[in-house]
Amino acid sequence: MRKLAIGGAMLCLNLFFGCSDDDEEFLLEEQQLTGRDWFYNGCWDRWDYSSNDVVEVLYFSTNHDVMEKEFAGRQTTRRGTWSADENNLIMNWEDERENWRVLDCNKNTLSVIGWGAREYTSDENLRSLTGDAYWVNEFNGTAGSEGFTTRLGFSLAGSKNVRDAYVLLSDTEEGRVKLEKSGEAWGGKIEHPNEDVRVRFSCRIGSGDFMKFDDEVGKNNFDQMSWNDINVKWGNLDKGENGINVSWNSLAREGVYYQVTIYAEGDELNPYFVSSLLEGERNSLDITTNTMGVINRLNEVKADTPCKARLSVILLESGVGAGDVYTSVNLQAVLYATAVGNFSNVF
């Protein structure tokens, strides 16, 4: 993401605004500035793939570092330092220094004059919204088949008020992918060569302005494989308790995690159970109503409800760990394999 630059014309604006009565009444307090993400939406064309008008996210730390966040996965990069002199915010970037005149700063809004007049917001809808693009690998047809398909998948989630969600892959109409809504999330997948690609999300929240943000996807992915390479199975527990055991062949690959999902047949997007990420040496999991996980509402499964067990084999983006806050939106590639057959009356 680019940092903002100030031009000579903006210095004149600084002088103009610096003389206003309103500025004399307002005095910047550092505690208003620090401790939150500030979002600036400079979008001028919802369909433009090549422009720089993506959402900017800045964080001013109490130790005076300026952190810039990639919007999609919220990965953070240190871009420089900041200091304040009354209502002047001095931004020391890696290669230049800028002066921003602060017109207002409260818990919701940061208004500045620097590279033009800009208003940052700490809107909760933006704090929760994330997007991710990643490789989706699936076995064709029913579980156990030999067909193996790779697509480019997209997920946009975090705000129930999202509207008009698209992914842009070029500046042409053919490069627009409309995302479909499912519950409070939006998603889609398309055929795409397995190569480095930049994906641009385009949407708006409620009746607000359109916004855009990017996600970079590397070509790192799973190799073609057969069903027997993973061979997911389920079976009843041998301990006299209600539940199932899900087992699989672990892959000899570094950086792989596993996740088990149980859902009513035909309702994958509303699971009864989702495990935490399991380390790569794991090859089975016992699941009961007491098993810890990201989601466990197995006690809500009604009698005779046919359920399925799906294994997700997951590669995370470079530098992302299983315990990171935004792990779930920093996927690199996922392989889905669903155990053969369904089950009921085991929980």
- CATH number of the CATH domain containing 85: 2.40.128.370
CA gap 172, 168 in Å, rounded: 9
Buried b (16+ CB within 10 A) or exposed e, 324-341: bebbbbbbbbbbbbbbee
Q: What is the pLDDT along the chain (347 residues), one digit of tens a residue?
A: 444 433 333 333 343 344 344 445 788 999 999 999 999 999 999 999 999 999 999 999 999 999 999 888 888 899 999 999 989 999 999 889 999 999 999 989 999 998 778 999 998 888 889 999 999 999 875 544 567 899 999 999 888 889 999 999 999 999 999 999 987 789 999 999 999 999 999 999 988 899 999 999 999 999 988 888 999 999 999 777 889 999 999 998 888 999 999 999 988 888 999 999 998 889 999 999 999 999 999 999 999 999 999 999 999 998 888 888 888 889 999 999 999 899 999 99
pTM of the model: 0.84
Domains contained in the chain, number: 3
- Residue after which a domain boundary falls, among 171, 190, 217: 217
> 222 in a domain, yes or no?
no
> 343 in a domain, yes or no?
no
How is residue 90 written in tokens?
A: 């001095």
Claim to verify: residue 105 and residue 164 sit in the same structural domain:
no
Q: Which domain holds residue 190?
A: 127-217
> 344 in a domain, yes or no?
no
Claim to verify: residue 13 and residue 117 sit in the same structural domain:
yes
